[in-house]
A and B are shown apart, each in its own frame.
Chain A
């Protein structure tokens, strides 16, 4: 239970940083979430958004793909992969 709570707390903190455009701090917190729970798709997806914003498209794509491995229908990850690869013009 304690682990779960910590994971949620970290996730909330990471999202707080993310929403305030403090991307480096958010990145550290999302990484901590993944250390506790490597299956947390929210952390992967948010990391994808952060890397995309930093123009590190290879890492962003990797994060979105990890998101889709866990949450196959994730709309945000699908849309952003399309955008990165240029498939959204199809």
Chain B
């Protein structure tokens, strides 16, 4: 199967990082911006970098946008050009168009004209930061489904030196522990001590939870809230 080809239109901080990260993962990446200096700068880090006007259909067609499986449009601040680029990419037959939006109305228009996915990195990051401030023991939270979340939580003190079975977490909270992350001290090649993270994936009922362990759990919001308060 041929590798998916990506196009990134708009090479600001977000767009250029997406392009570079995809290329690092061995995907062919076509990067487009209207500013020559920006295109020259990213050129060594992507498959092809082209100066083109994102609001001009011929320009994008010549650049080869139609050959991309997924196009990421990253011009949140220039809403008008972002909308035109979305429209052109869809008209050229790109199957998957992802648009970085600056506001809710920007996203509404993008979806209306055919964007397959809209993202708000700033809003998502703001939510994450607020959550981490409000619940410092929660390290990571991923929405699993509408009701269920996958959460990385610092092991509550009540669980220290207990096996998973002894915590009775499934009966008491309706939560499943799917991994335990532990910091393990070691001596590195230079003879200097360091700490590495080891993950026990799918731990058994007799596995012990220690101080400073991080539990990766799946459960409903309200059940995880109870665990947070321990």
Contacts and interface: CB of A to CB of B under 8 A. Distances in A.
Interface of A: 15, 18-21, 42, 45-46, 49, 52-55, 74-76
A76 B194 contact: yes
Nearest to B137: A55
Nearest to B210: A21
Contact of B193 (A45, A52, A55, A75): A45
B188 interface: yes
Interface of chain A: mostly helix, strand, loop or mixed: helix
Interface string B206-222: 00001010000000000
B154 A42 contact: no
Contacts of A21: 184-185, 210
A19 B185 contact: yes
Nearest to B192: A76
B188 A76 contact: yes
B183 interface: yes
Given A53-B212, A54-B212, A19 B194 contact: no
A54 B212 CA distance: 7
A75 B190 contact: yes
Contacts of B194: 49, 76
A29 B137 CA distance: 29
Contacts, number: 34
Interface string B174-209: 000000000111111010111100000000000000
Interface of chain B: mostly helix, strand, loop or mixed: strand
A49 B195 contact: yes
B188 A49 contact: no
Nearest to A46: B193
B195 A53 contact: yes
A75 B193 CA distance: 11
Contacts of B195: 49, 52-53
Interface residues of B, number: 14
Nearest to B184: A21
A3 to B, nearest CB: 23
Contacts of A55: 154, 212
A20 B184 CA distance: 9
Contact of A18 (B185, B190, B212): B185
Given A53-B212, A55-B154, A76-B188, A15 B183 contact: no
Contacts of A15: 193
Nearest to B183: A53
A19 B187 contact: yes
Nearest to B154: A55
Interface string B70-99: 000000000000000000000000000000
Residue of B154, B183, B192, B210 with most chain A CB atoms under a 10 A cut-off: B192
Nearest to A77: B192
